Amino acid sequence: MFERITPVVKNLIIINVLILMVQTYLQGSGFANIEWLFKGHFVLLDNFYPWQVVTYMFMHGGFSHLLGNMFGLFFFGSSLERVWGGKRFLQFYLLSGIGSFLIYELFIGIGVAYFNMPAVGLLIPVVGASGAIFALLMGIAMLFPNSEIRLLFFPVPIKAKYFVLLYGLYELTQVPAGDGVAHSAHLGGLLVGFIIIKYWQKSRANFY
């Protein structure tokens, strides 16, 4: 199975695993303040730095968080990298991660300012590749809409376009859920992935 992995996907997985190892070391050695510099803080706070819009997506909240995201990167990312090539795939991955972060921050800011969401949400940094992974899901649904996805928790295969639609609707019902999951970032990943692919399709600039 692992011979199907593509180069950029493989390297991204390796980088994410290594960074989690560094995170674990820093937390155990009392240097968690260094780790704090690279998490995604709210853009109007003093502890926000521009590089965090990229670094946050390579950090995770633990092994299970990392495993879930890397599982999605492996199974969905390799198919897209084969179509686009490594350079364009990496561009899509990073732009989607950045875009989902900005949408999440916008949602949090509007929620606190206008909809009485707890202000503490502004102080909790976001981490994880989930936004980029959801963009990959959107890419699969748009490029291979009738391909079948087999899930461990679902007894029959489901077409990619229906899977993404149902998953997106589920995420929408969870905003805001208060469960510690950045559902708005997931939705942001779907939206940004859709916009990027539509733009590429319209421009036809080196697409496919």
pLDDT digits (tens, 9 = 90+) for 94-108: 999 999 999 999 999
pLDDT score, position 28: 84
pLDDT score, position 199: 95
Residue 97 forms part of a structural domain: yes
How many structural domains are present in the chain? 1
Residue 208 forms part of a structural domain: no
CATH number of 24's domain: 1.20.1540.10
Range of the domain at 197: 2-203
**Joined tokens for residue 33:** 């303040």
Q: How confident is the model at residue 86 (pLDDT cuts 50, 70, 90)?
A: very high
Residue 101 forms part of a structural domain: yes
Can you tell me the distance from the alpha carbon of 27 to that of 33, in angstroms, rounded to the nearest whole number?
Answer: 9
Which range is least confidently modeled, 11-20, 23-32, 158-167, 192-201?
23-32
The answer for residues whose C-beta is within 8 angstroms of residue 3's C-beta and 6 or more apart is: none
pLDDT score, position 160: 94
The answer for residues whose C-beta is within 8 angstroms of residue 34's C-beta and 6 or more apart is: 26
Can you tell me the distance from the alpha carbon of 41 to that of 132, in angstroms, rounded to the nearest whole number?
Answer: 18
**Joined tokens for residue 166:** 């149902």
Look at residue 3 and tell me whether its pLDDT is greater than 70.
Answer: no
Q: How confident is the model at residue 27 (pLDDT cuts 50, 70, 90)?
A: confident
Residue 132 forms part of a structural domain: yes
**Continuous H helices in the chain:** 7-29, 32-36, 52-55, 63-72, 78-84, 86-114, 130-143, 160-173, 183-203
pLDDT score, position 179: 67
Q: How confident is the model at residue 115 (pLDDT cuts 50, 70, 90)?
A: confident
Q: What value does the mean pLDDT take over residues 149-178?
A: 84
On the 0-12 / 13-18 / 19+ scale of CB atoms within 10 A, 22 is: middle
Look at residue 161 and tell me whether its pLDDT is greater than 50.
Answer: yes
Q: Give the type of residue at 19.
A: I
Which range is least confidently modeled, 43-52, 57-66, 100-109, 116-125?
116-125
Among 139, 58, 56, 70, smallest CA distance to 104 is for 56
Q: Give the type of residue at 33.
A: N
Can you tell me the distance from the alpha carbon of 127 to that of 105, in angstroms, rounded to the nearest whole number?
Answer: 12
pLDDT score, position 116: 86
- Token look-up 């003093």 returns 46
Residue 171 forms part of a structural domain: yes
Q: What stretch of H or E contains 159?
A: strand 158-159
Check residues 62 and 152 and name the one with the higher pLDDT: 62
